[in-house]
Amino acid sequence: MFWFGHHGLGLVLGLGWMLGRGLLTLLFWGAIIALIVLALRSRHEYPAHPQASNSALDVLNARYARGEITKAEYDQIRRDILQ
């Protein structure tokens, strides 16, 4: 039969295109949801303003641990800070 330009395979070809379009729709929405989830996860992993401990004693301890100052310098600066 020749209805609307189809040669009898309209139903078969139509189902194939519908399944393909449905699969593409699922992939599209899956990608959108994945992007939203990734965006939300990255916000929680890396806060905008990390709370750094930058008190004078913390900085002094870090400098001493890295070997930037000697024990004598460390003791002198520590005494000065605590006064």
Q: How far apart are CA 31 and CA 76, in angstroms?
A: 59
Domain ranges of the chain: 1-50, 52-83
Dump the DSSP string for 12-31.
HHHHHHHHHHHHHHHHHHHH
Mean pLDDT of 72-76: 96
Query: Per residue in 1-34, pLDDT tens?
Result: 455 555 555 555 566 667 778 888 999 999 999 9
**Assigned token pair, 72:** 């004598």
Q: pLDDT of 27-70, one tens digit each? A: 999 999 999 999 888 776 655 555 555 689 999 999 999 999 99
Whole-structure pTM value: 0.38
